[in-house]
Structure 1
Amino acid sequence: MNLDLDALFKISYGLFVAGVEQDGVLNGCIINTASQVTAEPPRLVVTMQKNTYTSELIQKKGSLSLSILSQECTMETIKRFGYRSGREAPKFEGIAYETDESGNPYLKDGVNAVVRLQVAQTVDVDTHLLFICPVLGAESRSEAASLTYDDYRILKSGGTLGSAERPKAPKKWTCAVCHYVYDGEIPFEELPDDYVCPICGVGKENFILA
């Protein structure tokens, strides 16, 4: 079998906001990998990049909230939590949110469910961390369909969810590790050989056309 990394983009992903409060700081970030691993007792595994501010705070706090984004979520919300670091600007300032019993923030709008998680185990997988989390609480908020990573790519390219014809996003150089999409002014092929992904730090050779 060949190693066609494009095949990995066929795996279905959701879109979530992981939220945490630590020493009075509220922060959160967009993630696309969270799934249930056991039913009794209920546990989720949440995968996050090591170098994010949210991941750093979760390791200190030992708990987090998970806002499950719905198709009612706006691109503004996705940009707020996915396109900038909490080290640069407060993520939850000026938007509607609530906090769970652990003090961790979660979104009020554009979500169909929220989950309260306690970190029981952390597994290091090189560029990412796997947080193995018992579910301490969960609440449905809306009947709207969950927003998938594919939905996000459609919205980002100017498409409309639920339309009969969705424009296909043009192929772009995408990091095979963290799915960062290069959109700089310099053509990717002309970038220097020592270029690295600004999100996870892997080299240029780990980018694929997707």
Structure 2
Amino acid sequence: MPVSADNLTAKGLRSRAKIVDAAARLVLANGAHGATMEAIQQEAGVSASQLYHYFDNKRDLLAAVIQASTEVVLANKWLRDMRSLADLRAWRDAVVDAARETGCRTGCPLASFVEDIPDTDPDLLDLAAAGLRRLTSVVTDALTTMRAAGELRADADVHRLALVIVTAYEGGMLVSRAQRDPAPLEAALDAAVAGVLAHAPSEEPRAAPSG
């Protein structure tokens, strides 16, 4: 039976994280089915006994990858620091630039996991879905801050707008990755940002000059 992460030493936590990182890279590159335990072992540079010391089987490892990947996505500085419409545009630019720099060979792991995990494993799907809900919550909080600052109208449905942004991000990533072209991601995010901007307060009409 594998050792619980809660009972690991600092060295053990580093070794476990090394395996999880290797698995995440292979899952993003080859899909969950293409990332075998043998391939993960080689990618991580560990022995089979080390691998199974931390993870009972591939499913347990995938669960750890989903949880770790969720934290990586939420730790993105552009997302974490999003407080204004200017920050939203900066996040959009950073996402598109990153996709362009990598040739669209990587993407958000959360949507990739949902695509790869079969319906017969609802617990893993729930983990990925929980990650997407957390991402949506972070964007909702950012938009709520913008609304409180007067950058969005008081009647703006920030949760719905956050759903649009996250869906554009995840869907655009998948299409761009399939086509190896950042244009779909850029178009999807531009449409989502435009939808948010449509909820910005309109300027008050100027009074007509007297006389």
Q: TM-score range by the shorter chain?
A: under 0.3
* Structure (1 or 2) with the greater helix fraction: 2
* Structure (1 or 2) with the greater strand fraction: 1
